[in-house]
A and B are shown apart, each in its own frame.
Chain A
Amino acid sequence: MSLVPAPEVDAGSQSSIVTDHALRRVVRTFRSQPLAMAGALWMALVVVTAIFAPWVAPDDPNAQNLLHVFAGPSWHHLLGTDNLGRDTLSRLIFAGRVALPAAAIGVGVAVGIGVPVGLAVGYVGGLWDRVAMRVVDAVLALPGLVLAIAVVGALGPSLDHAMITLGFLASAGFARLTRGVVLAVREQPYIDGARVVGESTPHILFREILPNALGPIVVQATLAFAHMLLFEAALSFIGLGVQPPQASWGSMLTDARSQIGNDAFLAVPPGMAILLTVLSAQLIGDALRSALVRGRESRGRAARASRWRTRAARVAPRSLDSQPRPDRVLVVEGLRVSVGTDPGVTVVDDVTFELGRGETIGVVGESGCGKSMTALGIIRLLPTGARIASGQVILNGRDLLALTDRQMDSVRGKEVGMIFQDPKGSLDPAFSIGNQVSEPLRLHLGLSRREAWSRAVELLDQVKLPRASERAHDYPHQLSGGQLQRVMIAAALACSPDLLIADEPTTALDVTVQGKILDLLAELRSELGMAMIFVSHDLGVVADICDKVLVMYAGQVVESAAVDELFSTPRHPYTQRLLETLPGSVMPGASLARIPGQVPPAESWPKDRCRFADRCEHAGPICVGEMPSLRPVEGSLTRCIRAEEFRTVEAVR
C-alpha cells in the first residue's frame, strides 16, 4: 500500500496524445486482453451496483435480524449474514458507495493539485523547478497513512479529510510525472511556434503541452485509484473512516475481526471485494498503459531483444564431412546465421574457413556484412532473435554446435576467448578488474580465490598494465579505454585458449593506443601460439597482424586469400574498393576514396545474383544472371564471376 504507484510510469520517455485514435487503441487493447476486460467488467459492476444500490441490493444494509445471525450463504442471503443478522451482500453493495467516492476524492485532489503544479514548474523551470522537486521528493518519502491519521486527529473523524490529505500527498507523484512530460516537449518546435505566434502561457500549457501528458496521467490516476481504495479500506478498518452503522468494506472487516472466533467466513466477502476491485483498477491501469503510453512497450521489446542467446537452434549433429586434421584448430563449415522467426532473414550465409595453430585470419567488410555475427556464432553468443541455422564449427575436432549449453559454457573462456569492440561496456562496473580476470581461472582451472587473484595480477602484468598488483583492485571506471582493453585481453587469455576471437578490438580506441594493443596481441599470439580471428573493418590493421583474410559482403565471403596475395592482387572488386579506401593507397593530395552506396539491409539481399553487382563498376549482365559461387583463382578464393576480366582491367589502369 504505497501512496503513489512506484515510478514505473517515468515521464519524458514517452509522449502520447489522447485523440480518437488513442480511444480506438484503448478499445483494441481491452478486446485483446481478456484479463483487462475482466477487470473493466468487474469495475463496471461495482460502480453500477453502487449507484443503484437501493434498487439492486436484496435487503436494507442496516436491517438487523437477531434470529438470523451468522447465517452461512443461502438462497435468501447469498453471502450470509453478520453478527447482527444483516445481509452481507447488501452491505457490500452499499459499501461501494463509500469506497468509490472516497478513492475518487483522493485521486481528484492528487490530479487537481499535482498536474497544474507539474505543468507550471516544468514550464518555468529554474529555481522554482528545483525547489518544487525537492518538496516532491520530501513528500513522497513520507508515510502517507500516518499523516492522514494525524490530520483526522486534528480535523475530526471524517473519511473525506483523510482522503483529501492522501490526495494532497499523492499529488507530488503527479507533479513529478507531469513535469517530466513538460520538460520533454518544452523545447519542441511547435511549442516555440505557439510562443512566437503570441499564444498565452495558459493556452500553451493546457492546449499544447498538457495533451502530451494525458496518457501517462490517466494511467497513473488509475493506479492511484487502486491505492486510494486500499487506503480507504485501511482507514475504515481502524475506525477512522465511516462511522457505524454505515458499511464500508474496511469497517465490515472490523466487525469480522471481532467475530473471527464465531464466524471466520465473515472476513471473506469484504476482503474479496477490496482485492478484486483493487486488482481490477490495476489491470485497467496496465492495459491503459500499453494502449496509451508508447514508450514502455518498445522499451520492453528492446530489453528482450538483446539477451545473449547461446542455443544452437536445431542443428543436427552431423558426422564430420572432412577428416579431423590435427593441425587445424578451427574448421568453420557452411555457417549460416539467421535472424527473426523461422525461417528468418539470413545474415551470415554459408561461411567456410579453416584456421591452423598460431594462425590469424582477418575478417573484413563494411558494417552490416555479418562479420560480428560470424564471430558471435562461432562462440555461440548470438543476440536473442538470431540463431545458427546450419553449419559446423569444429574446434579441436569437436563440433561446438552439437554441444549442450553446459558443455559450451566450459568451452568459452577455456578453449575460446573473446574480446569485444567496446572495452568500457564489456567490463562490469561493479566488480574490480582483478575479480573479472580471476573469473575464468576460478571457473575453469578451479583455482581458489587467492590463487586466481595472484594469477590475475601476473596476467595483468603480462598485458603490460603498469603497477598490476595495485591496479587489480581498481574498478573499470578508473582505467582508460586502452587499459581496459588490456584487461579484457588478460581475461580472455587467462586460461590460454587455443582460439582468440577479437571483434574489432581497436575500433573504439584512440589511434595512438590502437597500435599498442595490436602489438600486444601480436606478441601474445606468438608467445602463446593461439589461433586468432580478427574482425575489423580496417584493412590496414588487418595487413599488420593477419596471415590470411576473409572479405565479407552482405553476409557472404566474397574473397579469401593469404594476406600478401590479397593486398597485391585482389580478386574481387569489393576487395579492390576496400583497398582503395586505405590512406596509403592514394597519392598525396588526392582525396580518400569511399565506396559509393551502402550495404543494403539483410532483408533485401538477393539470392540469385551477385550481391555486390549494384555497387560494382565492373558489373555486367552475367553478374545478375545467377548467384556466383566461391571458386579458386590462382590460390585465392573469389566469388566474382568475372574475376579474371576484372583483374585485366585493373592491371591496365
Chain B
Amino acid sequence: MRRVLLSRVLALVPTLLVVSLVTFSLLHLMPGSPASVILGPDATNAQIVQLNQKLGLNHPLLVQYVTWLSHAVRGQFGSSLLNGQSVISMIGEHLPVTLSLALTGMLLAAIEGLAMGIAAALRPGGKLDHALQVVTSFGLAIPGFWLAMLLVIPFALWTRLFPATGYTPITQNPIQWLHGIALGSIALSIAPAAAIARHTRGALTTTMSQDFVRAARSRGLSERRALLKHGLKNSSIPVVTIMSYHFAALFGGALVVEQVFGLNGIGQLMIASVQDHDIPVVQGLTVIAAVIVIIVNLLVDVCYGLLDPRVRVS
C-alpha cells in the first residue's frame, strides 16, 4: 500500500511539471513585451524597466523559471499588479465558494450517477435502462450553466425556494451555505452524473457475467443482492476512475456556473484578472486549480487501495 501511494505521488511529478511550464510561460505568451502589454500604450520607459525588474524579466529564461518555481512550490505567486494584494491571500478569499460548488457537485454526481447506473444495470435492456439511456444522453449534452439558469427560473425567481444569488460561509451557517449553493451544485452534477451512470452500468454488466457472480448465486444470493455486493464492489474501481477524471471538468464548470449566481469565487477573480492582464493572479489561480484537481485525483488513487485487496494486501 505504501509503495502504491509512493508511485502515485511520483506519477504526479510530470503533471506538476506540465502545469508549471504552461503557467510560467503565460507571461511570455503575451504579444510584445509583457510589461508594455500590462502597462498599456501610455507607459513610460522608466515604468517598463521598473516592472521588468519587479517581474524578474531581465534575467535569463531558465533563471526566471527556477525562481518562479521555487516560489510557486511555497505558494508564493507574488502580488497583484492591480492592487498589490498578495495573490495567495486573494485566492484564499475566493476559493471556498468555488470549492463548495465543485465538491458538493461531485458528491451529488456520484450519488446520482451510481443510483442511475445501478438502476439501469438491474435489468439491462429493460424499460428503465432505455429511459436512463435517454436521460444520460441529455445529461452529457446540456451545458451546466444553462441548466443552472433553468433551475433559477422556477426555484429562485418564481417560487423563491432558493436564493438566486448569495453565499454564506459554511462556518457561519451550514444550512444557509447549502441553501445557497444547492442549485449550482445540482446543475454542475448532471454532466458527470450522466457519465458516471453510463460507466457504472457498463462496469456492472461486465462484472455480473463473471464466474464469481455465478458462484455467489449458487450460494443463494438473489441477482439484486449479488449485484449490490459483488457487482458493485468489483465495479467500483472503473467507476472511481471515471469520477476523478470528471472532477477536472467539473471544477472548470464551477467557474462558469458561479457567474449564473453572481457568486464571488475563483471564476469571478479569474475573469477579472484576465481582463486586467493581472498575470500573477492568473498564474496563481491556474496552479491552484491544477493542484486541487491533482489532490482529488490522488485521493481517488488512495481509494483504489481501499477497494482492491490485491493492492492493499501485498
Contact = CB atoms under 8 A, between A and B. Distances in A.
Contacts of B29: 151, 154-155
B18 interface: yes
Nearest to A283: B137
A439 B219 contact: yes
B143 A275 contact: yes
A271 B143 contact: yes
Contacts of A203: none
B140 interface: yes
The 5 closest A-B pairs by CB, nearest first: A145-B252, A413-B220, A153-B274, A2-B249, A138-B15
Chain A contact surface mostly: helix
A313 interface: no
Interface stretch (B39-47, B54-62, B71-79, B146-154): B146-154
A431 B230 contact: yes
Interface in A414-440: 414, 416-418, 420, 422, 425-432, 436, 439-440
B218 A417 contact: yes
Interface stretch (A17-25, A183-191, A301-309, A515-523): A301-309
A230 interface: yes
A428 B212 contact: yes
Interface string A313-353: 00000000000000000000000000000000000000000
B19 to A, nearest CB: 7
Contacts of B125: 304
A417 B275 CA distance: 71
A356 to B, nearest CB: 23
A146 B137 contact: no
Given A6-B199, A475-B310, 14 more contacts: A141-B248, A146-B290, A147-B286, A149-B274, A150-B22, A154-B26, A226-B141, A304-B124, A405-B223, A413-B221, A428-B234, A429-B308, A430-B233, A492-B218
A610 interface: no
A379 B218 contact: yes
A621 B247 CA distance: 73
Contacts, number: 277
16 contacts: A2-B246, A142-B290, A143-B290, A145-B253, A150-B274, A153-B274, A234-B145, A234-B253, A275-B146, A279-B138, A307-B208, A308-B208, A411-B220, A428-B230, A436-B219, A478-B313
A264 interface: yes
Interface of A: 1-3, 6, 134-135, 137-147, 149-157, 226, 230, 233-234, 237-240, 253, 256-257, 260-261, 264, 267, 270-271, 274-275, 278-279, 282-283, 303-308, 310, 379, 381, 405-406, 409-414, 416-418, 420, 422, 425-432, 436, 439-440, 443-444, 474-475, 477-478, 488, 491-492, 494
B202 to A, nearest CB: 8
A492 B15 CA distance: 49
A420 B233 contact: no
Contact of A413 (B15, B17, B219, B289): B219
B249 A150 contact: no
A1 B249 contact: yes
A230 B145 CA distance: 10
A306 B207 CA distance: 10
A510 B130 CA distance: 47
B61 to A, nearest CB: 16
Given A149-B271, A151-B29, A439-B219, A271 B149 contact: yes
A154 B282 contact: yes
A312 to B, nearest CB: 15
Given A153-B279, A492-B219, A144 B249 contact: yes
Given A143-B252, A154-B30, A429 B146 contact: no
B293 to A, nearest CB: 5
A146 B294 CA distance: 14
B267 interface: yes
A381 to B, nearest CB: 6
A228 B191 CA distance: 15
A146 B191 contact: no
Contacts of B222: 405-406, 409
A376 to B, nearest CB: 8
* Most central of A226, A267, A428, A440 by chain B CB within 10 Å: A428
Contact of B14 (A138, A381, A416): A138
A275 B29 CA distance: 34
B126 interface: no
A354 B85 CA distance: 88
Contacts of A410: 220
A6 B241 CA distance: 10
A147 to B, nearest CB: 6
A379 B274 CA distance: 68
A477 B141 contact: no
A381 B220 CA distance: 11
* Most central of B26, B191, B220, B225 by chain A CB within 10 Å: B220
Contacts of B131: none
A147 B22 contact: yes
Given A146-B286, A154-B27, A428-B216, A267 B149 contact: yes
A411 B222 CA distance: 11
A138 B13 CA distance: 9
A633 B273 CA distance: 96
B48 to A, nearest CB: 18
A477 B310 CA distance: 7
Interface in B121-171: 124-125, 137-138, 140-146, 149-150, 152-153, 157
Interface stretch (B110-118, B178-186, B255-263): B255-263
Interface string B282-311: 110110011001100100000000011110
